[in-house]
Chains A and B, each alone.
Chain A
Amino acid sequence: MAGLGGRMSTVIKAKVSKILDKAEDPAETLDYSYQKQLESLQNVKKGIADVVTAKKRLQMQSSKLEDSVVKLDTQARQALAQGNEELARTALERKNVAQTELQSLDGQIAELEAQQQKLTDSEKALRAKIEAFRTKKEVIKAQYSAAEAQVRISEAATGVGEEMADVGLAMQRAVDKTENMKARADAVSELEAAGTFEDLTQLGQGEDDIDRQLKELSNKSVVDDDLAKLKAELGQGAAPGQLAAGEPAVEGSAEDAEPAAAPKTEEQA
């Protein structure tokens, strides 16, 4: 059937044939090929386990970053409530870095999830072929002379061989993707080691510099702290004057300036 396909499929077909030629030794076709098939199935299982391991690693990083985002957000609120806008900004900047990293990680986790699903499907397909081959092999052996059985079983083995080659391809793609993500995870770890996420890595355990500064502030201004907490409880959150440092003071001025725009009728009544 050579020359049947277009350029693309011809190239791919040639490569698969090459794999099959390498894998198949006619003298050993009978039971040996079944052993090779089972080995191939084991390899796929190992491939799936590798993808799952890589995924778990990324998930751990992701959950660590999620904790960081929550903590940095809390720290920013606290800093702002205590009037330290600069500290709040630092916390928010770090939160931003963590969030960006988190989004990227989530995308990679989804990608690995997809790879895992594909490999699982491939494994299922290969398993079905191998089982069919096993059955067919026994039937052929029982029905034909040794020489003819050899030929027919060889044909059937080629069908499984093609599936094995296809699974091999799926594995290769999964490995490539996993390697990329490992490299990415290592890069994140390096960033952490370099201090970019210095504080993030310690969250939940030791104190970071934001914590320490907050504590100093708290010691200095327990009253302010209480007041900020009270404001927050009253639903005012951080004082607007502290939030918008670049703007002119707005305390109570908005409603005064434009009384007609005030929608609350009970205040006007």
Chain B
Amino acid sequence: MIVRISGEGQYRLPDAMHGALNELDNTVVEAAEAGDETRFATAFAELLALVRSNGEILAGDDLSTSEVILPPPDTTLEQAAETFTGEGLIPD
């Protein structure tokens, strides 16, 4: 499974990590929706750490596409909340 951290790069992760990744991903969304700054920051940091520590970074000239794309590490709660309502980070 290839995961991109936006603005940072792509990582190859064991497929078995799907579950853990999705769980944290959903926690981040819930925290953003609830406006829970602390929970958002903690869960998002955990999610990024999970990818970085378990993933193998892809070479720059690798042309693989990513199955999972995470927002940039410096995404704020406001930006994240906007993203899930369909606007924000990546313009349509």
Contact = CB atoms under 8 A, between A and B. Distances in A.
A13 B2 CA distance: 12
B9 A132 contact: no
A5 B68 contact: yes
A15 to B, nearest CB: 4
Interface residues on B, range: 35 or more
A166 B6 contact: yes
A246 to B, nearest CB: 44
Interface string B16-39: 001001111110110000000000
Interface string A138-182: 000000000000000001101110100110111011000000000
A1 interface: yes
Nearest to B86: A11
A98 B72 CA distance: 35
B92 A166 contact: no
A129 B60 CA distance: 6
A7 B29 contact: yes
Contact of A169 (B18, B60, B68, B89): B89
A71 interface: no
A122 B61 CA distance: 13
B72 A8 contact: no
B67 A8 contact: no
Main secondary structure of the interface of A (DSSP, over half): helix
A170 B84 contact: no
A134 to B, nearest CB: 10
Given A162-B66, A169-B7, A8 B89 contact: no
Contacts of A6: 21-26, 28-29
Interface string B37-69: 000000000000000000000001111111111
Contacts of B22: 5-6
B63 A15 contact: no
Nearest to A18: B92
13 contacts: A4-B67, A6-B24, A7-B84, A8-B29, A9-B70, A12-B83, A12-B90, A124-B60, A129-B60, A132-B60, A162-B4, A162-B69, A169-B6
Given A4-B18, A8-B29, 5 more contacts: A9-B68, A11-B83, A12-B69, A132-B63, A169-B90
